[in-house]
Amino acid sequence: MVKTTIILDDNIYKELIDESIERYGTTKKLSLLINEKLRNYNKIKNTDNDKLKLTYRLGRKLTNAEINQAKEEYRGKTEWKQ
């Protein structure tokens, strides 16, 4: 394990702190959260895009109609940048 200092934009830091509190109930798990996010990023980066499945947290459950509508709206509109 390596210890380092990074400079984050204020809004990114706030999002990370909020997620750390939501997931772990403390800000002391910030390093764990950042490591998880970097590991997941590397998995996504090295995955065949045809098999890629992304998850988004919306803060509420969607109805089947909303899910189907979103599928239709975004079908074929996604571009992958590497």
4, 2, 46, 40: which is closest to 19 by C-alpha?
40
Which pair of tokens denotes residue 4?
């380092």
**In the prediction, which pLDDT does 82 show?**
47
**In the prediction, which pLDDT does 77 show?**
64
Rounded Cα distance, 15 and 76, in Å: 29
Q: What is the pLDDT along the chain (82 residues), one digit of tens a residue?
A: 888 899 999 999 999 999 999 999 999 999 999 999 998 887 777 766 555 566 667 778 888 888 888 778 777 665 555 4
**In the prediction, which pLDDT does 75 show?**
73
**In the prediction, which pLDDT does 36 show?**
92
45-57 CB burial, b ≥16 within 10 A, e <16:
eeeeeeeeeeeee
